[in-house]
């Protein structure tokens, strides 16, 4: 069955989702949820929410989908234990370390790979299956055909069908962290992308703001290609939004009409888009919240409130009535979900005026308005000449319905046990002899480059293709977002035949892509390794080293355990966003591209163009050459270059060798100030 999955950022949204016909909800606790600014649930509220959902036959998936630091793993283990105790039906995870912790402590708990894991290819889905995930939440940027390919792998696929669209691929946005220290990967995105950014001089554009997505009109197509879960974004939204979106999905999936205008009124950014699903990106996908979008919402609320004022009728119940002289009245209810309950009443009396009949019994049993049940069939075995009070019939009806409710809650309890966790004591890493690596953008940057004491030089895959010879120190950086994985695989195989020995793994899917090839795999920053457990998982998958997340502080890096060499990005303009839609192309053809966008303060963010995606680079260059003593426990430092010449690159490398203080405007990144 294809489920409708609704967001619940707090208890006020729960009722609206349930009463509008969702099949499942996803919720977060006060910690480790990718929507920390939502109300979320404390432990008591979480338990009550799970019980209420299960009473209604609705599944509950808990989002523990942020990146964790080593110091937080004990708290994560407590979170997992609570989830098992209260009976959640699955855990949504981004962090590979948390996934490993979950499988060790509660091996039977279903794991869902969060969209924050940036899974968008067949190989990515296959690796998730290997890592014990039972479901993948696909990246939002995929076409219907791409989603079908994921479904064909056999792993459950969850796809977003309505809600906000981030400019960046989920899990690959560092804009909020770099600008204000609020990490999107840790649930505190400040949504800097909704502020003015423009590629047109003097224009008041929001060129990083996309319209909300809506694929509700196409949910049957998604069901036909094999999507198991239709996900509505919006744990930060009001209950009216949750109600309108859930109701629209329910009706669309059931083949009924729904009020698209109501959906648009409650929340939109200049309307909706299905550009990614249709494979049509471009200017039509961009939009921002206008005044009329805001005013239309309040006018729609009264109508939306009617959508969830009454319980959603999920189950049919059949009744068996036994009324016999000298014996207590029995009422048995058999629910369409297989549960059954019996209530015992008083012994009936001889009728003085009106005797009880099957018609009277059925009339009272049909009064199920305040419940989640509708009347099926009624089988009555009633002796003539007997009577019982109508109030007694009503009490019997209430009793069996309440029993069914309690039985349904109870059957979800105790399914998953959770073991204990003892955190390993952090061990400070000892100073290493650090290697220098280069990340280049163009093959021409190799000309005149001084590669003495440089361990590796990475180039984009397409640039490696253009080399006459592939030196042993060259590593091919694989596409961070790939719409043609089979072509990439073919190119990679051809390069291996030409002598390629190294590959930069920038997405989990690349691990499957490189297996069986004579390549050393180097883990990139996009794998978001922030703790020792995730480092362990990565090393066990065959990677020879890891570039840790640049959201870690130097102190956290010095205590991270790793079975393979560990390094960081130590120079360059950090990639703040990975985007499939180009913010410059929105306004002008590629022939007139200025190569950057500016924010409202005038800061420039260069836009680095690849074939199927762009990287939006931070406005200031990271510089640590004079601070390397603070990072001497790391094994290697990667210096990243975009448009620099060979001479400029040589100069930077020399600065790092001699620990030269910076000149000009620089940033120390997040290594000192950290992230929330």
Write the pLDDT tens digit of every residue in 530-576. Answer: 999 999 999 999 999 999 999 999 999 999 999 999 999 999 999 99
Pairing of strands 520-523, 545-547: parallel
- Here the tokens at position 253 are 């999936």
Determine the pLDDT at residue 639: 98
User: Sheet of 614-617: strands edge to edge?
Assistant: 197-198, 596-599, 604-609, 614-617, 575-579
Determine the pLDDT at residue 148: 98
Beta bridge partners of residue 63, listed in sequence order: 92
> How many CB atoms are closer than 10 A to CB 452?
9
Which residues touch 220 (CB under 8 Å, ≥6 apart)?
252, 253, 255
Please give the mean pLDDT across all residues of the chain: 95
**Residue 289 pLDDT > 90, yes or no?**
no
Write the pLDDT tens digit of every residue in 117-168. Answer: 999 999 999 999 999 999 999 999 999 999 999 999 999 999 999 999 999 9
Pairing of strands 621-623, 111-113: unpaired
- Here the tokens at position 276 are 């990614």
Closest CA to 234 of 158, 135, 160, 140: 160
Which residues touch 618 (CB under 8 Å, ≥6 apart)?
178, 573, 574, 575, 576, 605, 667
Write the pLDDT tens digit of every residue in 608-656. Answer: 999 899 999 999 999 999 999 999 999 999 999 999 999 999 999 999 9
Whether 492 contacts 445, CB under 8 Å? no
**Residue 35 pLDDT > 80, yes or no?**
no
**Residue 36 pLDDT > 70, yes or no?**
no
Write the pLDDT tens digit of every residue in 316-362. Answer: 999 999 999 999 999 999 999 999 999 999 999 999 989 999 999 99
Determine the pLDDT at residue 37: 66
Determine the pLDDT at residue 535: 97
Write the pLDDT tens digit of every residue in 410-451. Answer: 999 999 999 999 888 777 788 889 999 999 999 999 999 999
Determine the pLDDT at residue 406: 98
Closest CA to 119 of 70, 162, 77, 65: 65
**Residue 34 pLDDT > 70, yes or no?**
no
What one-character DSSP code corresponds to residue 109? S
Write the pLDDT tens digit of every residue in 191-250. Answer: 999 999 999 998 999 999 999 999 999 999 999 999 999 999 999 899 999 999 999 999
> How many CB atoms are closer than 10 A to CB 21?
22
Q: Tell whether the torsion through CA atoms of 646, 648, 649 and 653 is positive or negative.
A: positive
Determine the pLDDT at residue 427: 76
Q: How far apart are CA 102 and CA 113, in angstroms?
A: 12
Whether 1 contacts 222, CB under 8 Å? no
The helix (run of H) or strand (run of E) holding residue 332 is strand 330-335
Task: Count, in order, helices (H) and strands (E) of the chain.
Answer: 20, 31
Q: How far apart are CA 657 and CA 652, in angstroms?
A: 9
- Report the pLDDT averaged over residues 369-392: 96
Beta bridge partners of residue 577, listed in sequence order: 616
pLDDT bin (cut points 50, 70, 90) of residue 300 is: confident
Per cent of the chain over pLDDT 90 is 90
Q: How far apart are CA 525 and CA 576, in angstroms?
A: 12
Determine the pLDDT at residue 430: 87
> Domains of the chain (ranges plus CATH)?
3-165+210-307 (3.20.20.70), 315-411 (no CATH), 435-572+623-667 (3.20.20.70)
- pTM value? 0.95
**Residue 295 pLDDT > 80, yes or no?**
no
């Amino acid at each position: 069955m294809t489920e409708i999955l609704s967001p619940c950022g707090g208890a006020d949204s729960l009722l609206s989702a349930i009463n509008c016909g969702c099949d499942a909800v996803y919720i977060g606790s006060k910690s480790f949820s990718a929507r920390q600014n939502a109300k979320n649930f404390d432990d008591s509220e979480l338990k009550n929410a799970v019980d209420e959902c299960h009473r209604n036959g609705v599944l509950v998936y808990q989002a523990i989908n942020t990146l964790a630091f080593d110091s937080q793993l004990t708290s994560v283990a407590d979170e997992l234990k609570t989830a098992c105790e209260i009976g959640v039906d699955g855990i949504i995870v981004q962090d590979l370390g948390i996934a490993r912790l979950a499988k060790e402590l509660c091996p039977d708990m279903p794991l869902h790979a969060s969209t924050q894991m940036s899974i968008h290819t067949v190989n990515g889905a296959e690796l998730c299956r290997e890592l014990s995930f039972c479901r993948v939440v696909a990246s939002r940027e995929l076409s219907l055909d791409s989603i079908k390919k994921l479904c064909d792998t056999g792993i459950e696929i969850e796809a977003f069908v309505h809600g906000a669209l981030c400019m960046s691929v989920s899990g690959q946005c560092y804009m909020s962290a770099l600008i204000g220290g609020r990490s999107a990967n840790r649930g505190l995105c400040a949504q800097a992308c909704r502020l003015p950014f423009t590629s047109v001089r003097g224009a008041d554009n929001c060129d990083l703001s996309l319209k909300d997505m809506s694929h509700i009109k196409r949910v049957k197509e998604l069901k036909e290609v094999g999507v198991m879960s239709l996900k509505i974004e919006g744990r930060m939204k009001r209950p009216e939004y949750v109600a309108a979106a859930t109701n629209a999905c329910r009706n669309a999936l059931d083949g009924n009409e729904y009020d698209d205008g109501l959906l648009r009124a409650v929340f939109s950014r200049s309307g909706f888009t299905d550009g990614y699903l249709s494979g049509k990106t471009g200017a039509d996908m961009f939009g921002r919240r206008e005044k009329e979008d805001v005013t239309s919402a309040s006018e729609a609320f009264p109508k939306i409130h009617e959508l969830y004022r009454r319980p959603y009728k999920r189950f049919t119940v059949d009744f068996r009535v036994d009324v016999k002289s000298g014996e207590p009245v029995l009422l048995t209810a058999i629910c369409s979900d297989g549960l059954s309950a019996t209530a015992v009443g008083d012994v009936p009396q001889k009728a003085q005026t009106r005797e009880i009949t099957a018609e009277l019994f059925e009339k009272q049993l049909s009064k199920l308005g305040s419940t989640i049940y509708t009347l099926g069939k009624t089988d009555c075995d009633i002796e003539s000449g007997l009577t019982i009070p109508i109030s007694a019939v009503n009490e019997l009806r209430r009793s069996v319905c309440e029993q069914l409710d309690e039985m349904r809650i109870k059957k979800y309890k105790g399914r998953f046990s959770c073991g204990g966790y003892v955190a390993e004591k952090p061990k400070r890493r000892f100073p290493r002899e650090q290697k220098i690596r280069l990340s280049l953008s163009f093959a021409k940057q190799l000309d005149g480059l001084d590669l003495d004491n440089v361990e590796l030089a990475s180039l984009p895959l397409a640039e490696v293709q253009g080399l006459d010879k592939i030196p042993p120190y060259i590593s091919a950086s694989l596409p961070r977002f790939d719409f043609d994985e089979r072509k990439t695989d073919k190119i990679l195989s051809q390069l291996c035949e030409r002598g390629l020995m190294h590959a930069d793994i920038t997405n989990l899917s690349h691990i499957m892509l490189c297996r069986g090839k004579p390549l050393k795999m180097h883990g990139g920053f996009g794998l978001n390794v922030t703790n020792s457990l995730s480092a362990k998982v990565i090393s066990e998958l065959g990677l020879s080293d890891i570039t840790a997340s640049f959201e870690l502080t130097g102190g956290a890096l010095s205590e991270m355990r790793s079975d393979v060499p560990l390094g960081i990005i130590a120079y360059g303009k950090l990639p703040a966003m990975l985007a499939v839609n180009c913010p410059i192309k929105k306004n002008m053809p590629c022939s007139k591209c200025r190569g950057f966008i500016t924010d409202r303060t005038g800061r420039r963010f260069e836009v680095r163009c690849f074939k199927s995606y762009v990287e939006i680079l931070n406005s200031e260059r990271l510089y640590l050459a004079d601070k390397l003593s603070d990072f001497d426990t790391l094994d290697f430092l990667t210096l990243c270059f975009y448009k620099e010449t060979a001479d400029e690159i040589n100069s930077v490398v020399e600065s790092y060798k001699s620990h030269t203080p910076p000149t000009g405007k620089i940033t120390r990144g997040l290594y000192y100030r950290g992230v929330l």
